[in-house]
Amino acid sequence: MKSSILQALWRRVHFRGYASKKRLEFVSSTSSSNPIKSSPFKPSSIAVPLATFALGVWQTKRRTWKLNLIQELTESQNKPPIELPATPEECRSVEYQKSLIKNGGDVHSSSGLMGSNSSSGWWCVNPFKLSNRDEVILINRGWIPLNSPEGYNQEKNQYTPPIKPDAEVIHTRNVPVIAEKLGTSPIYLDSCETVPGGPIGGQTRVTLANDHFSYMLTWFSLSGITFYMWLKKFALRK
């Protein structure tokens, strides 16, 4: 009788332990086969479309500013010539506007060749004595092909050399450095005309990059796409 009771208790305990083990295995396998999926989109993700929209607005303002600047430069170039201002500070206020100057006599034969972004030639910069006041300024007489000036037809290195005031060739348009080298005032003009047999004048180039419209479309497109994804995930779900 006692042994039969013990056997019954052992079977009951063994069955419960076996059932608990199976239950644990079932829960474990169910959990592993259906993992919890986490979404990268959260309610705070609304910051992405808002930020990209703000960048689009910023590019819109930049585009308006650039268009106004281009219009101002174009109008300055089309204005009638004026008398050259007396100081470099006043010259900056009429930048890209034409000025009438007269030669007051030869100063000296010093000149400088200034390198450009192209390897096909140089700009010839000379001192210029003004006739209406005792002042010498800088004037870019124009373009000289690379093989024209004797002694300056060497091949250009891939590295742009630093500015050297004691060198004949200057590779950057740094007006104070050129003025110190040639002994003139720091006023720099581009010649609009070409002297027969001389450098090619009219080298003033006013080009401003205006890619703000494409940037504006990019940011507004990203803002619209991310905002739609946010609405679909949170605001439009049932």
Partner residues linked to 124 by β-bridges: 113, 142
49/128 same-domain check = no
Does 226 lie in the same domain as 152?
no
Residue burial 196-225, b: 16+ Cβ < 10 Å; e: rest:
eeebbbebeeeeeeeebeebbeebbebbee
- Tell me if 23 is assigned to some domain: no
Selection from 196, 171, 172, 191 nearest residue 126 by Cα? 191
Are 102 and 178 members of one domain?
yes
Residue 166 located in a structural domain: yes
- Lateral strand order in the sheet of 121-129: 169-170, 112-115, 121-129, 136-145, 188-190
Half-sphere exposure of 77 (CA within 13 A, CB side): 12
Residue 24 belongs to a domain: no
More confident residue, 91 or 165: 91
| Contact yes or no for 169/152 (Cβ under 8 A) | yes
Judge whether 196 lies within some domain: no
pLDDT in tens, 208-223: 888 999 999 999 999 9
| pLDDT at residue 63 tops 50 | yes
pLDDT above 90 covers a percentage of the chain that reads 17
Separation of alpha carbons 101 and 97, rounded Å: 13
Residue 56: pLDDT band with limits 50, 70, 90? very high
Predicted structure pTM score: 0.57
Q: Which two tokens stand for residue 202?
A: 């009219």
The total of structural domains in the chain comes to: 2
**How many angstroms separate the first and last alpha carbons of the chain?**
65
pLDDT at 24: 45
Phi and psi at 162, nearest 5°, equal -70, 165
Amino acid 192: pLDDT: 85
Tokens read off for 77: 């170039």
> Does residue 124 form part of some domain?
yes
Task: Give the whole-number percent of the chain exceeding pLDDT 70.
Answer: 63
Q: Is residue 136 part of a domain?
A: yes
Sorting pLDDT into bands at 50, 70 and 90, what band is 3? low
pLDDT band at 165 (very low <50, low <70, confident <90, very high): very low
User: What's the pLDDT score for residue 120?
Assistant: 72
Assess whether 108 and 183 both reside in one domain. Answer: yes
Domain span including residue 231? 40-80+206-238
Q: Which residue has the tokens 């056997």?
A: 7
Q: Are residues 184 and 238 in the same domain?
A: no
Please say if the pLDDT value at position 58 is more than 80.
yes
Q: Say if residue 21's pLDDT is above 60.
A: no
| Least confident residue range of 22-26, 62-66, 110-114 | 22-26
Q: What mean pLDDT comes out for the span 193-219?
A: 85
Distance of alpha carbon 67 from its chain centroid, rounded? 16
Residue 61 pLDDT: 96
Residue 35 maps to a domain: no
74 and 119, same domain (yes or no): no
Across 192-201, average pLDDT: 80
Q: Which amino acid is at 157?
A: N
125 and 72, same domain (yes or no): no
**Residue 68 within a domain:** yes
- How confident is the model at residue 27, as a pLDDT? 46
Two structure tokens written together for 79: 């204005």
